[in-house]
Structure 1
């Protein structure tokens, strides 16, 4: 079992590697290739991984769910880096919502 600090550190290490690949050689790095493909390509890959994650969950495939979740988180981190955001931006938003009913939170959003 990993601790929260280890999880945070792992996500940040992965994010820093991802961010360092921005503008890199697309022939040498899958991440650089994603960045070169643009936001639409990155979003498409994230969507594909999300679907694969859902399928693994519905099928009760714990190993598949773990692996696909890792793929989905990786692609989400690429999308965040592409948008100039960091994991802290997402954590701050989650913290802002903490303690608020999900229904209340959705009503408070400006669409």
Structure 2
């Protein structure tokens, strides 16, 4: 398994955990909307570091983005496997063609 798969499994294991014992459980307890908000905050922080050009800070923020993406997906019962299947479906399809098909 990859580190992302391991992280996704850890995130899922925290869904029913005590919010006082786990940051992830605390996010889940606040609801899917808060999970989405945290993802958005981290994405903005990553954008800022990308614009600044600080590779180390961008790397750290990108890790936060991936973590919060997994939390947000789990909060809405979307699995990493479903996202991977969607990526596989798009493989070999031009980005322009794929976007046009979505309308």
Same fold flag (TM > 0.5): yes
Equivalent residue of 1:92, what SS? helix
Deviation at 1:90, TM superposition (A): 1.0
**Residue matched to 2:47:** 54
Separation of aligned partners in 2, 1:86 and 1:76 = 11
Matched, 1:93 2:97: no
2:8 to 3, 7, 15: 15
Unpaired segments ≥5 residues, structure 2: none
Unpaired segments ≥5 residues, structure 1: 1-7
Equivalent residue of 2:31, what SS? helix
Separation of aligned partners in 2, 1:14 and 1:101 = 30
**Residue matched to 1:3:** none
Matched, 1:82 2:61: no
Structure 1: 4+ residue segments shifted above 4 A: none
